[in-house]
A = this chain, B = another copy of it.
């Protein structure tokens, strides 16, 4: 089966990560999964949420949004509508959990790392791109704190990244774009750490239930894509003067 964009089933879209994309945030990244473009920022906020008062640790939380016309049809602006959709809340909770899984909250002190992922252009995979990009932004915010000697030990324990896999008429496809995502029978989002531990497995049968074997095939494919993403994160972070 050929994909509408001539990609092989196991081929990811071109991935780009641009560090220091905007100037105010302690970490700021533009990540592109093909035509999907997300600005991920990590802000250091010298406060902790009330439920952590006195717990001697910090926190990381995430918010997610889409520009109204990041999509093919304009979506209503959530700020104007007065509330965030269930989808938005679900995604921002996912991003927060994914990033917290590799961050030692005790080591960051009584402060909050606030992740913001804002989709500038959407073409499928905005949540997975957000996680992969937010990791780099988090890294840069932590570097900032270490440069300031606000924190000494590196609280980042591993890399984290995410990718989607779908089943289209039984054929697994890596890193779905919007058209593929709309048509596929199953949609699986995988978040993994750099040492290939699973952090999140979210598989949904959109049309047809899937088998254990199909799940395993998709997980294999995801793992391969994630290894490419981890390599890219390392390469980007190794660049000195970026």
Considering only residues 45-87 of chain A, those with a C-beta below 8 Å from chain B are: 45, 63, 65, 67-72, 74, 77-87
B204 close to A97 (CB less than 8 A):
yes
Report if A219-B209 is in contact (Cβ < 8 Å); known contacts: A24-B70, A67-B116.
no
Chain A interface: which size bin?
35 or more
A104 CB to closest chain B CB (Å) equals 12
Residues of B within 8 A of A72 (CB): 24
CA distance A202 to B45 in the complex (A): 31
Secondary structure class of chain A's binding surface, majority of residues: mixed
Chain A 104-119, CB-CB to B under 8 Å as 1, else 0, gives 0000000000101010
Q: Which stretch, A10-18, A192-200, A234-242, touches the partner chain B?
A: A192-200
Answer yes or no: A211 CB below 8 A from chain B CBs: yes
Considering only residues 174-215 of chain A, those with a C-beta below 8 Å from chain B are: 188, 192-193, 195, 197-205, 208-212, 215
Binding site for B on A (CB under 8 A): 22-25, 28, 35, 37, 39, 41, 43, 45, 63, 65, 67-72, 74, 77-90, 92-93, 97, 101, 114, 116, 118, 120-122, 188, 192-193, 195, 197-205, 208-212, 215-216, 219
